[in-house]
Amino acid sequence: MADLTGADVRRSALTGADVTGADVTGADVTGADVTGVDVAGWSCPMPLRDYPRIVLGHGGGGTLSAELVEHLFLPAFAAAGTVPPCPDTTLAPPGRGSAAPDTDPASVDAAVVEVGGARLAFTTDSYVVRPLFFPGGSIGELAVHGTVNDLACRGARPVALSCGFILEEGLELAVLDRVARAMGAAAASCGVRLVTGDTKVVERGRCDGLYVNTSGIGLVPAGVDVRPGRVRPGDRIVLSGPIGEHGIAVLSVREGLEFGGDDVRSDTAPLHGLVAAMLAASTTGVHAIRDPTRGGLATALVEIAAAAGVGVEFTESAVPVPPAVEAACGFLGLDPLHVANEGRLVAFVADADTDTVLAAMRAHPAGTGATVIGTVTAGHPGLVAARTAFGSTRVVDRPLGEHLPRIC
Amino acid sequence: MADLTGADVRRSALTGADVTGADVTGADVTGADVTGVDVAGWSCPMPLRDYPRIVLGHGGGGTLSAELVEHLFLPAFAAAGTVPPCPDTTLAPPGRGSAAPDTDPASVDAAVVEVGGARLAFTTDSYVVRPLFFPGGSIGELAVHGTVNDLACRGARPVALSCGFILEEGLELAVLDRVARAMGAAAASCGVRLVTGDTKVVERGRCDGLYVNTSGIGLVPAGVDVRPGRVRPGDRIVLSGPIGEHGIAVLSVREGLEFGGDDVRSDTAPLHGLVAAMLAASTTGVHAIRDPTRGGLATALVEIAAAAGVGVEFTESAVPVPPAVEAACGFLGLDPLHVANEGRLVAFVADADTDTVLAAMRAHPAGTGATVIGTVTAGHPGLVAARTAFGSTRVVDRPLGEHLPRIC
């Protein structure tokens, strides 16, 4: 099979599923030269699911990622009563093994385990963003904020992080130093410590400069119980600020594009302070929190709807999208709902507590743009519906695979 | 500068420092074809240290790794009161940041942090071993055992692991499945749970099949305090079994070599059960434990001698080296003391407790080959001396860089 590099094939606007990497047809997707692609050979998106090799979409946080978890990792780990690796998701079958697992079968972002009487949140993420530096941040800030935010989404107070570097032979030490300083500064500003680490080096051409994994542990305060299983019909859906900036910022510098005259900067930021303020306003009224990273807001809403067995309805026009993000998405055929964020959260809050929580969010620097975007319903469980500007309703799904490979 | 691939340059037998990757001279080291190498251009090992790029030796767990930690990560992380990533080493400056750090400035293998009243061990390791499967195991077992063992070396009972995969586009799902099943089975046999995970996919040529990071948390039982700082002159040094099998097993399959007629199989195995048996025999007499992985037994002894400010003396002939490992090392010019192990530990035990602890080790399946190899002295602090078969004494140092790149 010919290896046709440089084919950017996007043909599934109807489903919102862009296919950005598909060895199945012999088409690689970095770059944008379509010369020589046998488009007739494509029948996306279905064949990807049956293809016996990893495609970029398996890392996108969408449907393919979920299938990888369900059909490969979950069975493989079943013997240990363990949990699959899944983008920003932790699935812990209850009651087996030596640790007390979270009882929610589809908890998000971090697992909660009881150790020595303490309720610990525990999470991991690897960061492979390309390029390493982008407007508003770098892989260093991302690696700290992303893992801190995963802990925060369980209501935990972040305590300590690990960092594991994989370095490519030939990487400039000055680049590594810049990344490490960004991590140190970000950790300091979050009040967390990088307490343990590891460094591996691989041969030139076996990495892309550097990858870094951060894992984190946090303490879940007494009385705090934030997870999808607590979401109930009637809950209000609160978004902490405008969406799409991280994904577009990375894309713009990667592809050398400018959108709408404004530089779009990544929104990368820690959210644990905001979460603490929300929980201080209402410890029990904050039912679930999710940071909509890979797969964007759409994926966060779909996964919580599915996990909680509820319907989600929101108003498209209520979701703040910066003009430059909107312009870029229009140009690129992307749905802002699918674009990654690294400093936003979406919360599901008891109706009676929404005003209090919203006020607390707006009073916090990370939540000045907080706004109610929708409501949880008992109807259409597992489905997310958006009321459009035209007054119609459309079903919102997560992307099949990967809009923007290596966005985090 | 010419990029001369395939140059295997070993010229530092006197210092025990093999240079297996050195862009500084334009020589890459995978393979063994020396054609075209400008040997006059080499002046190892010093220039490597000043070279502004990452070389394979930075990941070897030896002197270059330590320099990277000391000169790059430690300053970069200092702002956060944090800790550098270091191969199997955790350096936690005491008393800063939000988590209670381990008070030992050069604790090994895992950090100990107090969270919610519990003493937690926390560690991370990335695994990049090549090939993925080797006699006696795979990257899957390694990723579980390695992290479990790092926890065990602090006396902790392993509780939960995370796993973060970085996958190369095009990886066969069957390969991933085999690795995941190995991880699941290994975790089950260790009684630990894989509770949270993450998957990233990078483009073809930006990885080597798959890399995996596992981080782990464990509970340090009351009264247990295992760290280099407790090592005292007079302590006996106990090795749990023969050395060198993991490194030689990986090397043999990688290079297609056979040594001594016997297949050498990796010793990869969990050690937490053995450690628990040792601590049950003497909770306070077991001062420090280290698993001699990258850099081998020599590195473990040197690092503990330096951290504890003591001297180490051992008898070379007391260190069990399987005949096939000895044959391979002779053939390849390697020192068995520098070759990686993945199922062995070296313990520093109070003299009065040594017989009891040794008996407990020999009664455990992972410690049947346990033996006393040496003694801690007040003389020559920071130095490790070996009594040779000829009756002389030689100073043992850790390797400068990387004997065997990507051994774990």
Please state the rounded mean pLDDT for residues A79-106.
39
DSSP-assigned letters across all residues of B266-329: ------HHHHHHHHHH-TTTEEEEE---TTHHHHHHHHHHHHHT-EEEEEGGGS---HHHHHHH
- What is the pLDDT, as a whole number, of residue A57? 87
Calpha distance B386→B378 (Å, rounded): 15
- Mutation site for B-interface testing, chosen from A159, A166, A195, A272 by largest number of B Cβ within 10 Å: A195
pLDDT at A82 over 70: no
A293 touches chain B (CB under 8 A): no
Pairing, β B236-239 against β B371-377: antiparallel
Q: Tell me which CATH code domain B228-396 carries.
A: 3.90.650.10
- Residue A94 near residue A83 (C-beta atoms within 8 A): no
pLDDT at A125 over 80: yes
Q: Which residues of A210-229 are buried (b: 16+ CB within 10 A; e: fewer)?
A: bbbbbbbbbbbeeebbbbbb
Please state the rounded mean pLDDT for residues A254-258.
76
Please state the rounded mean pLDDT for residues A216-232.
96
User: 3-class DSSP state for residue A72?
Assistant: helix
Task: Please tell me which residue of chain A has the smallest CA distance to B76.
Answer: A181
Nearest to B84 by CA among A198, A148, A283: A198
CB atoms A215 and B215 under 8 Å: yes
AA identity, residue B236 = R
User: In chain B, what are the domain boundaries?
Assistant: 93-219, 228-396
Mean pLDDT by 10 residues, chain B (408 residues): 29 27 27 33 44 87 84 79 41 34 49 91 97 96 98 97 96 95 95 93 96 98 96 98 96 77 87 98 97 95 95 98 94 94 98 98 98 97 95 91 82
Nearest to B79 by CA among A210, A161, A166, A192: A192
pLDDT at A204 over 70: yes
Calpha distance B171→A52 (Å, rounded): 8
All residues of chain B having their beta carbon less than 8 Å from the beta carbon of residue A400 are: none
Size of the A and B interface in Cβ pairs below 8 Å? 395
B256 touches chain A (CB under 8 A): no
- What is the pLDDT, as a whole number, of residue A256? 78
- What is the pLDDT, as a whole number, of residue B13? 27
Of B117, B213, B405, the CB nearest to A118: B117
Which pTM does this prediction carry? 0.84
A87 touches chain B (CB under 8 A): yes
pLDDT at A220 over 50: yes
- What is the pLDDT, as a whole number, of residue B117? 86
CB atoms B173 and A88 under 8 Å: no
- What is the pLDDT, as a whole number, of residue A21? 28
Pairing, β A157-168 against β A137-138: unpaired
- What is the pLDDT, as a whole number, of residue A101? 36
- State ipTM: 0.84
Of B124, B170, B193, the CB nearest to A23: B170
Of B54, B169, B188, the CB nearest to A167: B54
Is the backbone peptide bond immediately before A131 cis, with ω within 30 degrees of 0? yes
- Residue A20 near residue A404 (C-beta atoms within 8 A): yes
Please state the rounded mean pLDDT for residues A211-240.
97
Please state the rounded mean pLDDT for residues A265-272.
97
Residue A208: pLDDT band by 50, 70, 90 thresholds?
Answer: very high
Q: CA dihedral in degrees (A385, A387, A388, A392; nearest 10)? A: 90
Fold of B93-219: 60s Ribosomal Protein L30; Chain: A; (3.30.1330)
- What is the pLDDT, as a whole number, of residue A263? 81
- What is the pLDDT, as a whole number, of residue A96? 32
- What is the pLDDT, as a whole number, of residue A234? 98
All residues of chain A having their beta carbon less than 8 Å from the beta carbon of residue B183 are: 76-77
- What is the pLDDT, as a whole number, of residue A24? 26
- What is the pLDDT, as a whole number, of residue B279? 98
- What is the pLDDT, as a whole number, of residue A52? 87
Percentage of chain A beyond pLDDT 70 is: 79
Superfamily of domain A63-219: PurM-like, N-terminal domain (3.30.1330.10)
Nearest to A150 by CA among B164, B127, B193, B112: B164
Q: Work out the minimum CA distance from A386 to partner chain B, whole angstroms.
A: 29
A175 touches chain B (CB under 8 A): no
